[in-house]
Amino acid sequence: MPSTKSGHPEIFRFTVSPRQPKDPRSLGYLADAHALGITSLTRLVCNDLYFIEGSLQAYQAEKLASSLLSNNITQAVTWQRVGEEATGKPPGGQSRDEKVVVEVALRPGVTDPVAEEIVRSARVMGIAQVQRASTGLRFELYGAMTARDVDLLTHRLLANSVIHRSEVGEIQPIFPVDAKASTKIEWFPIRDMSDEALIDLSRSRRAALDLAEMQAIQAYFCKVGRDMTDVELECLAQTWSEHCVHKTFKAIISISNYENLPIQLQAAYPGGTVDNIMKSFLKSATDTICAPWVRSAFVDNAGIIEYDGFNEISFKVETHNHPSAIEPFGGANTGVGGVIRDVLGVSAKPIAATDVLCFGPQTVSIDDLPEGVLHPRRVQAGVVAGVQDYGNKIGIPTVSGAILYDEGYTANPLVYCGCVGIAPKDAHPRTPQAGDHVIVIGGKTGRDGLRGATFSSMTMDAQTGEVAGASVQIGDPITEKGLVEVVLRARDANLYHAITDCGAGGLSSAVGEMAGVIGAEVDLQHVRLKYSGLAPWEIWLSEAQERMVLAVPQSNLTNLANICKTFDVDLTDIGTFQPTGRLVVRYGDQILLNLENDFLHHGIPQRRLQAIIPREQGRSQPVTMSSSLDPAQALLRLLGHPNIASKEAVIRIYDHEVQGGTLLKPLVGVAGDAPGDAVVLKPVGTRGQVALALSAGINAEYGKVDTYRMAASVIDEAVRNAVAVGANPDRIAILDNFCWGDPLRAEVLGDLLEAARGCYDTSLLHRVPFISGKDSFNNEYLGKDGARHSIPPTLLISAIGLLDDISQAVSMDLKTPGAVLYLVGSFKPDWGGSHFHLVSGSSGGGVPVVDTINPQIYRRLFQAIQNGWVNACHDLSEGGLAVAAAEMCIGGRLGLDLRLEANQGLLGLFGETNGCLLVEVPENLTKVFENIFEGLPIARLGIVISEPCLRIESGNLLINLPMEDLLVAWKGNSRVSISSNLQGEKG
């Protein structure tokens, strides 16, 4: 068989080129390059590279080239043995322009799921000689570029040095090697360390532990009379991290300015102290509501509610902010994969994914970016590609989300990933038994994802990308698809007593948490590795993706192994659960970790923090308004604002219909391009007419002004959106995701307290319990000016509600000329945090209040929908009434002729309010519709007209815009380039 002169198998290089001159991916890279200011680049061609090692015959290489690695219709492929001439010629001919070639490949140790699938697929094709594979990209750059241009292109657009290596010219392939772990451990004489040495140790190991926490660890090892291993330090740092234990939410918080607060604020914080935000506000609200249909809240990997009497629904939303800032594709990709495993961790089948994304302005100059910060265009492209890649490949619809833009997210994007699951009632076992085996199923363990929990608990600086590069992972949705199939079959066969996923902290968190109620002993030499040289602490802490841990009795091991073999999923037995109350980790005969469960999980000192409550909360600021604003132009500018404009370019690349359960989609209307208020799902195979509604509320502009009212507003918006499609307001549960700055700063913590108080009050007002949540702190960045830059306080509220009858679901698009349009709800528009300010340069006002009458409005509206009296319904949110009306026109491609009260003016058109919706009602049903709202605020605004335009009169103000103008404004800013990430272009 052919081989190299050294006797090793040969290496084959395959180059796959686009046949069409206007290749969309290449054009996307070109547009991004021009956006970065590199206009000397006149043409770019992006090719895929594949390197395969194996003793292949020529016909086998040709078969791989034509049948596996390329699409003959759209792509041309050349291949060669490394060091020889290529077969065939790439399409397109020669260019007279000067050409520079840059090739990019993954660094050693970075997960390459496409390469793994090449090896597997080749064997399925009968080409067993393929031993290893690796992938990359080849960029052909044309134009009169300087060396600086090429370097800037390479490092700002074509490659991310955290995970990629690059070369001008041809790059040499690197393959994974046979895996064997290191047995080296490090001992720390912690008993003899000074306070300064303790802090230095925490800092040097990036443990993110403060002095009190390090002193508690020191006291423990003084008590047991021995030094501490690196495995024990890393395990404690992970377990005690902000990400895992939520120590800010559990802290004792003293309000420094309590005596100077207004009386009403003092009354909200009796004694000026809050002991545990979680218990005092979020969990307290859920306990007070005590909804009988909530089956699990703040206990499992995901919150769980009753569905149809036979099934239960789980829901979890996570954040993956810091990893996405460093490596956007991998951060978002593994964020999706991780939250899917959270749902799998409650023994549920994943049925839908959600994504809410916050980015910096896409037009920011590259010269204005701090050192080490990726351009927001690149961040968005990578994040969106990561979400698409995982959801589409694993076969889970991405159905609900939002995209926001703000300067505060330039260096620190926010990536909220959610997943919904379904399971038979009482099918989730939770308690490992003595003698159960500690079973790991799924992917192998690598160095990817080290210290992710502590990394996410620290402020990023200009060196974060270099120091924390190992905290970033690349997902493998194909492996996770097999994991899903195995877990569901194992659940139905009752093969395990407990299950959880390897999330932040990997085996350390998964095994540690499961063993926390009993004890366990683990041997790391049994863990399957991706490559050689991993230290024991790296094996224990790695967050390598697509792994679950199960507690399996001996009698069920064979059956579980057979299921795993069917789906080509690895199974490894790494230890047993034992009733010792201790966690013991070995490598062979060497003990690496031996800790009492009580200390590991309950030994962390409760933090004591100081907060300053902002006195201006709830106050309206003087309004500064431009007198020359034209209402029609203001509306067009609002429709074109990135936060409001169409997100169709992103939504279309997600598969939101796979699994066949999506009734109301994220885009609705006659052309399928208008923004739905919520999506409606009916999982395939479920009984009766009950369906699910998924919605969200988020508004960072409000958070900049008043965090209490922001929290109240986003809860009200999430509930309002769900009710708008027909959800029962008495069967809605919510999830909270706080993304904040450094909680050790008193002003930041004061804003957090006010937001939590807003959550408590509004949850009780609407009787919507919290069932799960997640906080993400230290979303700050040390800029090149040396100052801290924080994101705006951002709270995402995700809502999941039940529709009693799926046939009554309502969309927002106008339906019938001659129908009447009503405004229902307490219409109290205000200017604070409004998008009108963003497009007009005005300022002032207060954040809209949440009226106590809102729950009554929503319940009456629900009754009207149930009675079949509503054609269409759309909530008022960003941009106010005029934007909501324009969106309804776009959805139905019909017109509206509306009259506002003469004294409302610009505020009535563009001021923002809570609790209000526009409702289309058939003319013959207007009387019964008005009667059902008797005693509540309701206004008849006008009628639906067949002429596709929007007319609104309010005193001497007039908007009269044709549909064409609305559509151009709405869609003109919607293009998103999905180009700039190596992994995002694969598969």
Strand 679-681 vs strand 674-675: parallel, antiparallel, or unpaired? unpaired
Q: List C-alpha distances in Å: 415 to 382, 402, 451, 719, 862.
A: 11, 10, 19, 22, 32
Burial of 94 (0-12, 13-18, 19+ CB in 10 A): exposed
* DSSP conformational letter for 792: P
Phi, psi (rounded to 5 degrees) for 948: -75, 85
Active-site annotation holds for 246:
no
Catalytic residue among 246, 320, 322, 766: 320
Phi/psi at 21 (5° precision): -60, -35
Contact residues for 420 (Cβ-Cβ < 8 A; gap 6+)? 313, 314, 315, 343, 350, 351, 352, 353, 354, 681, 692, 694, 800
Residue 14 half-sphere exposure toward CB, CA atoms < 13 A:
26
What count of other Cβ atoms lies within 10 Å of the Cβ of residue 555? 8
- Burial of 594: CB neighbours in 10 Å, binned 0-12, 13-18, 19+: middle
Distance CA 774, CA 319 (A): 8
In angstroms, the CA 294 to CA 731 distance is: 9
Kindly give the interhelix angle for 376-394 and 24-35, rounded to the nearest 10 degrees: 150
At which residue do the structure tokens 């998103």 appear? 976
Distance CA 59, CA 790 (A): 58
Question: Cα 289 from chain centroid?
Answer: 28
Helix (H, G, I), strand (E, B) or coil at 978: coil
Cα angle 645, 650, 655 (rounded to 5 degrees) comes to 135
User: Two tokens at 806?
Assistant: 């799926």
Q: What distance in Å separates the CA atoms of residue 540 and residue 509, rounded to the nearest whole number?
A: 9
What is the rounded CA–CA span in Å between residue 677 and residue 667?
A: 9
Q: Does the annotation count 8 as an active-site position?
A: no
Rounded distance between C-alpha atoms, residue 478 and residue 852, angstroms? 48
Of 451, 445, 446, the residue nearest 471 (C-alpha)? 451
Between the alpha carbon of residue 709 and those of residues 752, 754, 756, 917, the distances in Å are 12, 9, 11, 19
Query: Based on C-alpha coordinates, what's the Rg of the chain?
Result: 29
Catalytic residue among 8, 34, 155, 243: 243
- Pairing type for strands 732-739 and 872-875 reads unpaired
Which positions are annotated as active-site residues? 243, 320
